[in-house]
Chains A and B, each alone.
Chain A
Amino acid sequence: MSEALDCPSPGVPSADGEVKITVRDLDFHYGDFHALTGISCDIKARSVTAFIGPSGCGKSTFLRCLNRMNDLIPGTRVDGTVLLDGQDVYGPGVDPVDLRRRVGMIFQQPNPFPMSIYDNVAYGPRLHGVKKRSELDDIVRMSLERANLWKEVKDILDRGGLTLSGGQQQRLCIARVLAVQPDVLLMDEPCSAIDPTSVQKIEDLMAELKSSVTIIIVTHNMQQAARVSDETAFFLQEQAGEPAILVEFGRTAEIFTSPKDKRTEDYITGRFG
């Protein structure tokens, strides 16, 4: 089972930064299938945390626990605690709809809505009551700029979002999320389905965004994890049918150069090899 990780008690800031998300003893079930067990970690505010691990070890599942996206899958169950800014995400009185606005999510497959570029970005603000055209114009422009897409689309804002290239679509999705001003951005393999130029642009924008947003990225690309993240979490399902655990969590530089756990080392050297 999981080695006890040295984590400070919930909500207490660690020495080198404020804690944004605290997870304690999290277990997750898809119906009868026990997918995750004993997950505890602290995600630092305004930093990039990478989730790595073999396919099927529950990285996406864990990510979706953080904004309650798993609520949308029937028959799932979460045990344990997830705190966002010290507040229980699964507590009574928390509206998952509101939570998901604060904890935005980017998926592996770019998923623009079948509407114009402008309307894609304006979708969230409109949901939350912004109606004035000039205000929307500002939000759309700013979000597209932050997503490194403005220059490419500023003259074609009324074109369909689906007419863009895959990499542009992914940045459009990032702009769409940024438009609702989330505190946390969950990115599930955002770069695995797109062209290298766009990958570069997304890595750049992550570096810019982390001054204001807490970012968690799932990636299978070890070089990418090493390049973009401050901290890294390694997940592993040791035996088929058994729940996955969080093996090691720490500063990216340390995880990649001197991991404490043999299993982390084996995985990373295997992937770099």
Chain B
Amino acid sequence: MKRDAKNLTNAAALAVFWLAGLTTVVVLGAVIGYVLVNGVGEIGLEFIFTNPHGVNAEGGIWPTIVATLYVTGLAMLIVTPVAVLAAVYLAEYAVQGRLVRTIRFAADTLASVPSIVMGLFGLALFVESMGFGFSVISGALALSFLMLPIVMRTTEEAIRAVPKYIRWGSYGLGASKWQTVSRVVLPAAASRIITGIILSAGRAVGETAVVIFTMGTMINLPVLPTDPGRSMTVHLYQLAMEGINMPAAFGTALLLMAMVLAFNLSARWLLRRNRRMQG
């Protein structure tokens, strides 16, 4: 009797867990499926490589793709040196005490600032005070604030994950601390650091609030960093909210998802390859 009841509870609990787990998969499948069904008809070479034209934004979305990749790439260039240097300092040099805890806490808090607030801040600081106007550089700077804590923390963890045996090997050959960090520790941590950068770039590609405030909404092909531009996310938002061109909105959405997915997959691939190499 008692045994049966126990088995029954077990089975019930298992079923609940299973259902909960399944929900995730179903939700993901539904989102992807919905966007795929509605957007796939739109996508083709013309959609990707030509400019939109007319009041209904027919044609392609090329300038928004360029703007998105441009602003993301620039943000990566800005954030990488700062984040890596900060992480090296935190992991290798700083005396582990109040200051370091404060910096870490600040990074974690920075990571949780709502992106629209970051956008507002970017508008005030880069667009207005510093006079960059709505531009790719304003967008990249604001995005780099968003990416900074992610890249810094993943880099710090990557550096800490380098086994002490490897450091000792270097010290044992008469290397100084900086030589050890720059020639052995950073290369050993490189693929995990790059993974962190790619993941944060995936986040930046999907960001809307920050870029709408800092890069503007003009559809043009940005060439100089001081040119304004419209990101894919912003384009999608406007097409859909103003009911201009739903098929193009879905096509953009699908492309956007494919890009984010590509970022995440390449990050995973790098990590996996690295794990294989290090045994």
Select from chain B the residue with minimum beta-carbon distance to A99.
B174
Q: Does A240 contact B (CB under 8 A)?
A: no
Chain B's nearest CB lies how many Å from the CB of A108?
9
**Number of A-B pairs, beta carbon distance below 8 Å:** 72
Query: In the complex, which residues of chain A have a beta carbon less than 8 angstroms from the beta carbon of B187?
Result: 113-115
Query: In the complex, which residues of chain A have a beta carbon less than 8 angstroms from the beta carbon of B31?
Result: none
What CA separation (Å) do A69 and B167 show in the bound complex?
A: 11
Q: A109-B165, A162-B277, A162-B278 are in contact. Are A104 and B188 (CB under 8 A)?
A: no
Chain B's nearest CB lies how many Å from the CB of A146?
16
Query: In the complex, which residues of chain B have a beta carbon less than 8 angstroms from the beta carbon of A44?
Result: none
Q: B residues bordering A, Cβ < 8 Å?
A: 163, 165-176, 179, 183-184, 187-188, 277-279
Query: In the complex, which residues of chain B have a beta carbon less than 8 angstroms from the beta carbon of A67?
Result: 172
Query: In the complex, which residues of chain A have a beta carbon less than 8 angstroms from the beta carbon of B277?
Result: 114, 160, 162-163
Q: A111-B163, A111-B165, A113-B184 are in contact. Are A69 and B172 (CB under 8 A)?
A: yes
10 A-B residue pairs with CB within 8 Å: A98-B174, A100-B172, A111-B166, A112-B169, A113-B169, A114-B184, A124-B173, A127-B175, A162-B279, A173-B169
Q: A97-B174, A100-B174, A101-B174 are in contact. Are A127 and B168 (CB under 8 A)?
A: no
Select from chain B the residue with minimum beta-carbon distance to A98.
B174
Fill in one digit per residue for A92-119: 1 if any B CB lies within 8 Å of its CB, else 0: 0000011011001101010111110000
What CA separation (Å) do A139 and B157 show in the bound complex?
A: 36
B171 touches A72 (CB 8 A): yes
A127 touches B179 (CB 8 A): yes
13 additional A-B pairs beyond A113-B169, A127-B173, beta carbons within 8 Å, are: A72-B168, A97-B175, A98-B174, A107-B168, A107-B169, A111-B163, A111-B165, A112-B169, A113-B187, A114-B188, A114-B277, A114-B278, A124-B175
Q: Does A176 contact B (CB under 8 A)?
A: yes
A-B pairs with lowest CB-CB distance, top 7: A101-B174, A124-B173, A111-B165, A105-B172, A111-B169, A114-B188, A100-B174
The interface centre, meaning the residue of B166, B169, B174, B277 with most chain A CB atoms within 10 A of its CB, is: B174
Q: Does A244 contact B (CB under 8 A)?
A: no
Q: Does A180 contact B (CB under 8 A)?
A: yes
Q: Does A123 contact B (CB under 8 A)?
A: yes
Query: In the complex, which residues of chain A have a beta carbon less than 8 angstroms from the beta carbon of B175?
Result: 97, 123-124, 127
What CA separation (Å) do A207 and B180 show in the bound complex?
A: 31
A123 touches B168 (CB 8 A): no
Query: In the complex, which residues of chain B have a beta carbon less than 8 angstroms from the beta carbon of A114?
Result: 166, 184, 187-188, 277-278
Q: Does A177 contact B (CB under 8 A)?
A: yes
Query: In the complex, which residues of chain B have a beta carbon less than 8 angstroms from the beta carbon of A173?
Result: 169
B171 touches A177 (CB 8 A): no
What CA separation (Å) do A5 and B116 show in the bound complex?
A: 74
What CA separation (Å) do A215 and B62 show in the bound complex?
A: 67
Query: In the complex, which residues of chain B have a beta carbon less than 8 angstroms from the beta carbon of A115?
Result: 187
Fill in one digit per residue for A120-131: 1 if any B CB lies within 8 Å of its CB, else 0: 000110011000
Contact partner, A69, options B166, B171, B179, B183, Cβ 8 Å: B171
